[in-house]
Structure 1
Amino acid sequence: MITKLPLWILIGGAVLAFSAGCVNIIALSGFTNLSVSHVTGNVSLFSSAIARFDWPAIFFIGASLLSFLAGSILSGYLIGQRSLKLGRRYGLALFIEASLLFCSFLLFFQHDYLGQLLAAMACGLQNSMVATYSGAVIRTTHLTGLTSDMGAAIGNWLAGRPVNKMMLGFQTIIWYSFCGGGVVGAFGYFALGYTAMLIPVGIVLAAALVYQITSNRLPEMREE
């Protein structure tokens, strides 16, 4: 059971969740009206499109799902581990994610559907990059499993059973960070349009730079 979480996990998880919430609401608010940060809802839309024989929707939603998968595959290829441990190739993965989001911004700005695919790929990369820490699953681009885990923990607490308060607190931080990112992304999109995509681009790029600097300076963050 996790009794203490390193500060870099708390901050990193919150920052990445905020960014994902921002990206997702911009995609949903724009001309595609389709999520990029998670898969379940899009699979339901994909199923509906198949039932209606809506071929354009089938191909587009299917391509978005495959793009998320491609981002996850890229994460597995680059990082090659299931347990979160600094000193690996997270910096490179973050720089690639920032590049994907920037290219998505340029394409979204031109109302090009490829922007949706690159944004979905970036989210798939981020979600798989975080993986697990001390056996606890950490996801930063959607809240379904996290909310279920929080609910189960609260239920156990109400029943008088011991719960991991540290992990519950961390999950709450992720939840509110994703929500906060959505609020900022919505305000940004309504005020600036797709230029608001530069917000998550800047966040992820800053995270990549900070990671590269700190991982080179702190012994405990270097690759073993």
Structure 2
Amino acid sequence: MITKLPKWIMWGGALLALSAGCVNTIALMGFTTLSVSHVTGNVSLFATAIASLDMRSVLFIGATLLTFLIGAVLSGVIIGQTSLKLGKRYSLALCIEAVLLVLSYWLYQQENNIGQLTAAMACGLQNVMVATYSASAIRTTHLTGLTSDVGHAIGNWIAGRSIDKPKLTFQLIIWQCFCGGSVLGALLYSQFQYRALFLPITIVSTTAVLYSAMVQKLPERRQPVKI
């Protein structure tokens, strides 16, 4: 059970969820009309494309799914643990994500489908980067599991059972930030098209810089947080 949530986890998770919501909406509203942060829906579209023998869609959606996986693998290689703790590896992962988003912007501007793949890789990397905290899964690029967890907690509360209130609060923050980021992405895309990606690029880059500065100032806190 989470008894106290460190601010660096709360703020980091909130910012990254907002960024992911923004990126995913921009991808959906763009010329590819395909999600970059949601695997489940894309798998359904992939299966539909197979059933209809639409090989072009099979290849494109399959590549999107594969690059999300590659991003997750890359995150696992860089970070190398399942519990969140202060360390320089997160700065590196954030920097790589920022570079991938910059590439996505440039490629999307050229109407190059590879922009979809680099955006999906960035989302896969981020989703694993924020892995677990106090045995609680933390996902910042989609809401299906999170919504289920929130519903489960509310059900227990209605039934009069004790619930992990800090965990529920954090999950609701992530949910709201992803939703807010999605709204921002839609509004910005309608005005600026793919230049709307400058918002998530700025968020991820700034988070990398601030996190790196925090780690440098607090070397004694690089050990795993104990609950």
Q: Which TM-score bucket, shorter chain as reference?
A: over 0.9
SS at structure 2 position matched to 1:85: coil
1:97-108 matches, cutoff 5 A: 97-108=97-108
Q: Is the 8 A contact 1:88 1:223 kept in 2?
A: no
On the 8 A contact 2:88/2:215 being kept in 1, the answer is no
1:121-172 CA-partner distances (Å, limit 9, x unpaired): 0000000011001100000000000000000000000001110011001000
Partner of 2:187: 187
- Please tell me the root mean square deviation across aligned C-alpha atoms, in Å: 1.0
Instruction: Give the corresponding residue for 1:128.
Output: 128
Deviation at 1:221, TM superposition (A): 3.7
Identical positions, percent? 62
Kept in 2, the 8 Å contact 1:95–1:208? The answer is: yes
Q: In the TM superposition, what whole-angstrom CA distance separates every residue of 1:151-207 from its partner, at most 9, and x where no partner exists?
A: 000000000111001100100000000000001110100000001011100110000
In structure 2, C-alpha distance between the alignment counterparts of 1:223 and 1:3, rounded to whole Å: 18
In the aligned structure 1, how far is the partner of 2:157 from the partner of 2:39?
A: 30
**Structure 1 unaligned runs (5+)?**
none
In the alignment, what sits opposite 2:20?
A: 20
SS at match of 1:89: helix
Shift of 1:38: 1.6
| Distance in 1 between residues matched to 2:33 and 2:216, nearest whole Å | 41
**Paired residue for 2:61?**
61
> Match of 1:147?
147
User: Is 1:9 the equivalent of 2:2?
Assistant: no
Q: Is the 8 A contact 1:21 1:181 kept in 2?
A: yes
Output the TM-score relative to the length of structure 1: 0.98
Counterpart amino acid of residue 69 in structure 1: L
1:69-96: CA deviation from partner (whole Å, max 9, x where unpaired)? 0000000000100111111400000000
Counting only pairs closer than 5 Å after superposition, residues 1-224 of structure 1 correspond to structure 2 as 1-222=1-222
Return the alpha-carbon distance in structure 2 between the equivalents of residues 131 and 9 of structure 1: 11
1:223–1:161 distance in 2 versus 1, CA, 3 Å:
closer
For 2:86 and 2:149, the matched residues in 1 are separated by 25
Q: Deviations over 1:11-60 (max 9, x none)?
A: 00000000000000000000000000120000000000000000000000
Contact 1:78 1:89 in 2 (8 A): yes
Gap regions ≥5 residues in structure 2: none
Report the 3-state secondary structure (helix = DSSP H, G, I; strand = E; otherwise coil) of the residue aligned with 1:5: coil
The 2-side partners of 1:196 and 1:87 are apart by: 30
Query: How far apart, CA to CA, are the structure 1 residues paired with 2:165 and 2:212?
Result: 31
Deviation of residue 3 (structure 1)? 1.2
The 4+ residue runs of structure 1 with deviation greater than 3 A are 220-224
Report if aligned partners of 1:130, 1:138 keep a CA contact under 8 Å in 2: yes
